[in-house]
Amino acid sequence: MKTLASVITLLATLCLSKCQTTKPHILLIIADDFGYNDIGYHGSEIKTPNLDKLAGEGVKLENYYVQPICTHTRSQLMSGRYQIHTGLQHGVIRPPQPNGLPLDSAILPQKLKEVGYSTHAVGKWHLGFYKEEYLPTNRGFDSHFGYLTGAEDYFKHDRCFGAMCGTDLRDNMNPANYTGVYSTHLFAQKAAEEVNNHNTDKPLFLYLPFQSVHGPLQVPEQYTKPYMHIQDKQRRTYAGMVSAMDEAIGNLTDVFQKRGMWNNTLMVFSTDNGGQIHAGGNNFPLRGWKDSLWEGGVHGVGFVHGEMLKRKGTVSRDLIHVSDWFPTLISMVGGTLNGTKPLDGMDQWKTISEGSSPGPRQSILHNIDPMYPPVGQRVPSSPFDNRIRAAVRMGDWKLVTGFPGNGSWVPPPHMDSITLSKDSASKNIWLFNITEDPNEHNDVSGTYQHVVINMLELLAQYNKTAVPCRYPAMDSKANPKYHGGYWGPWE
């Protein structure tokens, strides 16, 4: 009997350390400026076999929204909060701008750390660096390998802003020099090292915001070989860049598999915004592109993969927004949201995993940008100044005001020619039923005036909760020439 009891005790002790279900690893991959029409499963001429396979086995998010530009999307991904609540309503953070995602609300890696995660970031930050407090390693990441600004040379890892030039690559706080190594290879390698060095008793959070496929258009020649039939040189190079990223992601999943971690890994893939048509990207048949409030700027590519999804191989058509990842991931791992200011993101775990529909989200504030130059006339007695650049979604409806960006429909270069927008330069209100008209061809603002009024009222309500926009002047003290030739904190 004594032996049996001790065996049971021994088993129980073993079980406490080994039988506990470990929290899932999280692999969060962001592609930069990756367009709606640039992924294989949307019918692109660009081949993305690894992404297609992963998405096919997981849940494709086909009513998924991001923000029109880098800093906006990344700030919401990390904080779960809209631009109007962080002061980042206008533009991206420029390299010499003393600005950053405010420190007043806990962000994703901090909250994951609280519940036991090892947290590592490899790639682009773009959420501010003028003071050390804003760097990823001071905001919940155990490590960061990558760059701090928004774009740079893929091989030299340097960046000029006007006359200010410097290298932008760091290994944690330390300047790094990998001149000549293509960033997609470099980041894939560093990400693999994090996985290989990971102590699997702990859950891993690996954040991998690739430089791919933002301009400048650069890729090792081997990746453009399959695309010699694409006449347009920009599109051909871009296609090669997408292929390199797709290969990197395939390689990384192999590393997870070899370590036996893959079947306990939730992978999230998202673009940060629409493709840039002037740098090889494409969003056709959506209207507009990066940096606009048209669907081509904000209707993003995204999917989720993982054994823990209850329904796999499905497509979700529920409204999901990039601000939702924070509460969704924290809820999935059983964390808490204390220490955060009120969130705009919503917990979508059941929507994604179980397909429980409708999801919690009815509306999205795409943005209100008070610094964008106003357009046209204000509608008399409108509760919201419709000359101002803004857009909001409510169920099927989307209202756009002010100047949303160039509203042309631009197919990839080999297809038919561009359909130019016929809107007058002073037009400043559009209403679309996005469910019926996802490509924004039919403005119905004249037919549904009561809907327009309701949605202007909704914008006015959001506007009441807005904090002042923070867009400080460029600071010459940021110049890398004062900092050993590197972009880095200067205050």
Identify the active-site residue in 25, 42, 90, 126. 126
- The residues, any chain, with a CB within 8 Å of residue 374's CB and separated by 6 or more, are 385, 387, 388, 402
Q: Least CB distance from residue 339 to ligand NAG, whole Å?
A: 2
Nearer to ligand NAG, 315 or 466 (CB): 466
Q: Tell me the C-alpha distance between 430 and 420, whole Å.
A: 16
Minimum Å gap between C-beta 276 and ligand NAG is 11
Tell whether residue 20 is a contact of ligand NAG (CB under 6 A): no
Query: What residues contact residue 229 under an 8 Å CB cut-off, 6+ apart?
Result: none
Q: How far is the CB of 182 from ligand NAG (least distance, A)?
A: 8
Residue 380 sits in the site that holds ligand NAG (CB under 6 A)? no
Residue 19 is among the residues annotated as catalytic for this protein? no
DSSP assignment of 104-164: SS--HHHHHHHTT-EEEEEEE--S--SSGGGSGGGTT-SEEEEESSS---TTT-EEEETTE
Report the residue number, 98 or 400, with the smaller CB distance to ligand NAG. Answer: 400
Q: Of 45 and 437, which CB lies nearer to ligand NAG in the complex structure?
A: 437
What residue has token string 């009997």?
1
Q: What share of the chain is helix, strand, coil (3-state, %, to 5)?
A: 30, 15, 50
Helix (H) or strand (E) holding 164: strand 164-167
Which DSSP state fits 44? -
Contact flag: residue 384 with ligand NAG (CB under 6 A)? yes
What DSSP state is assigned to residue 22?
P
Among residues 127, 219, 286, 410, which is the contact residue for ligand NAG, using CB under 6 A? 410
Q: Which of 137, 143, 218, 251 binds ligand NAG (CB under 6 A)?
A: 251
- Contact between 263 and ligand NAG per CB under 6 A: yes
Residue 447: C-alpha distances to residues 404, 423, 442 (Å): 21, 17, 11
Is residue 70 part of the annotated active site? The answer reads yes
CA separation for the pair 281, 128 (Å, rounded): 26
Interface pick for ligand NAG out of 44, 79, 119, 167 (rule CB under 6 A): 167
Give the H/E segment covering residue 7.
helix 2-18
Q: Counting every residue, how long is the chain?
A: 491
Q: Do residues 323 and 314 lie in contact, with contact meaning Cβ atoms separated by under 8 Å?
A: no
| Least Cβ distance, residue 240 to ligand NAG (angstroms) | 11
Q: How far is the CB of 212 from ligand NAG (least distance, A)?
A: 9
For 268, the enclosing helix (H) or strand (E) is strand 265-271
Longest dimension (CA), the chain: 89
**Closest residue to ligand NAG, based on beta-carbon distance:** 339
For 261, which DSSP code? -
State which of positions 168-197 bind ligand NAG (CB under 6 A): 177, 179, 184-185, 188
Of 7 and 115, the one with the shorter C-beta distance to ligand NAG is 115
Binding status of residue 465 toward ligand NAG by CB under 6 A: no
| Options 42, 70, 157, 321, the catalytic residue | 70
**8 A C-beta contact, residue 242 and residue 212:** yes
- 260 sits near ligand NAG (criterion: CB under 6 A): yes
Residue 373 in the binding site for ligand NAG (CB under 6 A): no
Of these, 26, 135, 219, 244, which contacts ligand NAG (CB under 6 A)?
244
Q: Which residues pair with 176 in a beta bridge?
A: none
For residue 16, the minimal CB distance to ligand NAG (Å) is 19
Q: How far is CA 318 from CA 56, 265, 349, 352, in A?
A: 17, 23, 12, 9
Place of tokens 């599109």: 235
Q: Quick one: which of 62, 247, 443, 475 contacts ligand NAG (CB under 6 A)?
A: 247
Using CB under 6 A as the binding rule, the residues of this chain from 426 to 455 that contact ligand NAG are 433, 435-436
Cβ neighbours around 185 below 10 Å, total: 16
Confirm or reject binding of residue 419 to ligand NAG (CB under 6 A): no
Among the candidate windows 36-44, 85-93, 268-276, 403-411, which touches ligand NAG by CB under 6 A?
403-411
Instruction: Give the rounded distance of the alpha carbon of 128 from its chain centre.
Output: 16
Of residues 411, 438, 485, 489, which one binds ligand NAG by CB under 6 A?
Answer: 485
Enumerate the active-site residues: 70, 126
Interface residues toward ligand NAG, by CB under 6 A: 106, 114, 167, 177, 179, 184-185, 188, 244, 247-248, 251, 260, 263, 307, 338-339, 384-385, 388, 395-396, 406, 408, 410, 418, 420, 433, 435-436, 463, 485
